């Protein structure tokens, strides 16, 4: 169970590092879109494979982080 969750999460994190670290103006930028696509699919695989408490925890983290991020933007604008 743990390995089935860690493999797609690891692939997703590696794909994110490749995507953000690749120069997009040269031919070296070709792996960036491929890594992004692989990262999205592995993230979907991770969410499908992980247990319900992990999914609920991820939703809670996204909601709390999103609320804090939106409040920070609103304070800067106002």
Residue scoring higher pLDDT (22 or 66):
66
The torsion defined by the Cα of 44, 38, 21 and 63, in degrees rounded to 10, comes to -10
* Confidence tier at 60 by pLDDT (50, 70, 90): very high
Tell me what pLDDT residue 23 has. Answer: 67
What is the rounded distance in angstroms from the CA atom of residue 49 to the CA atom of residue 68?
A: 28
Tell me what pLDDT residue 42 has. Answer: 92
Q: Which of 3-7, 13-17, 19-23, 31-35 has the lowest mean pLDDT?
A: 19-23
Q: Is the pTM of this model over 0.85?
A: no
> How far out from the chain centre does Cα 49 lie?
15
């Amino acid at each position: 169970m743990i390995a089935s969750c860690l493999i797609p999460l690891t692939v997703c994190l590696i794909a994110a590092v490749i995507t953000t670290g690749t120069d997009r103006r040269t031919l070296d930028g070709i792996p960036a879109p491929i890594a992004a696509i692989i990262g999205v699919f592995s993230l979907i695989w991770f969410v499908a494979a992980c247990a319900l408490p992990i999914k609920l925890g991820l939703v809670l983290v996204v909601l709390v982080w999103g609320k804090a991020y939106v409040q920070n933007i609103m304070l800067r604008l106002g």
